Amino acid sequence: MVTSVRSPEISFFSSRSLSFQGGDTNLYRYVGNSPTTFTDPSGLEKLSKDGVNRIRDEMRRAGLSEAEVRFRLKILENVHSGKVHFPDEDKGLYETRNPQFWDDTEDGYVPKGDASDAINDLWKSKNGIQCYKYSSIIMLKSHLDVANQNRRQELNAMFNGKVLPNDLENEGDGVFYENLTPKNGDTFGIDELLPGDQVWFKNPYYKRLRPEIVKDEKKGKPYIGEQGSNVFYAGDGKVISIYGGNVKSLDEYRRGMLGWNSVQAWNRYRDPHASKDDFQIMSVRRPICPK
């Protein structure tokens, strides 16, 4: 989620999908969902039974089939139950995998044995995964969870021996999800979202302060910038964080972004100051319900 301009840009993963970049060439670095940025000391709403019922009703009103309703609820369950943390080397939180289930290769982590076992382990042991990649794996896991034995074998054959999701054709676009286009302009309105959709909030203040950054760097104050945030839409105007499974309204989530380092830096140096409404949903990935 964060980057310091004093460090060279290093990419360990390749990407062909551009819609979730937030202006950078590396989708897997520094994007969204800081476990500390969105901490609420008074306690955050979890995905409750009543909340699940509201989500189910919203999807039924939208005309989704019962199979798709169950599939999207499985996605949100996986978002809610994941134990993965966002890698932040400054805090000693590194990109990791359980070596019992994953090989750490030059190109990235590859499942040992059946990929379904390796993916399931991500929900049992704490691992560090970049948020764009993790949100993709959430959708892959959901496909595995609802698959019968034959389909699970097909999915394992598709996943085994690959860096996930990078090595999948188009990273899974067109098979496991589709990238949507806004109805009006460049941003998505809440009426365009369905529970289980992955959404990307863009931070418009990332990379806007180059003169000030250079000045601060000379004083030994590294600039930390956040590109944006990947979350899942949870219905009823709310989103669910992929790190911790916490649920917030869109407005609450946008207000949390005002505390980001890059936004605070903008407020110190420039006018007008940032507003929560500056953080818009620029990309949506819609899961494709398995047949």
**Residue 6 pLDDT > 60:** no
Give 82 or 3, the one with higher predicted confidence: 82
Q: Tell me which residue of 231, 193, 182 sits closest to 59, measured CA to CA.
A: 193
Rounded Cα distance between 133 and 122, Å, is 13
Give 269 or 166, the one with higher predicted confidence: 166
**pLDDT the model gives residue 214:** 67
Query: Is residue 123 within 8 Å of residue 78, measured between CB atoms?
Result: yes
Q: What is the Rg, in whole angstroms, of the alpha carbon atoms belonging to the chain?
A: 19
| Tokens read off for 238 | 């709310």
Rounded Cα distance between 275 and 208, Å, is 15
Torsion over CA: 190, 191, 192, 198 (sign) = positive
**Residue 251 pLDDT > 90:** yes
Largest pairwise CA distance in the chain: 61
Note the pLDDT tens digit of each residue in 76-135. Answer: 999 999 999 998 887 888 999 999 999 999 999 999 999 999 999 999 999 999 988 999
Rounded Cα distance between 28 and 132, Å, is 6
Rounded Cα distance between 96 and 278, Å, is 33
Rounded Cα distance between 133 and 14, Å, is 11
- Statement: the pTM of the whole predicted model exceeds 0.95: no
Q: Quote the DSSP letter at residue 22.
A: S
Rounded to the nearest 5°, which phi and psi values hold at 31? -105, 120
- Rounded average pLDDT over 2-15: 29
Where is average pLDDT lowest: 173-187, 200-214, 250-264, 272-286?
200-214
3-class DSSP assignment, residue 286: strand
Domain interval for residue 185: 2-287
Rounded to the nearest 5°, which phi and psi values hold at 155? -65, -40
Residue with tokens 């993916």: 119
| Tokens read off for 184 | 């009006």
Query: Is residue 135 within 8 Å of residue 233, measured between CB atoms?
Result: no
Residue with tokens 């306690």: 43
Overall domain count for the chain: 1
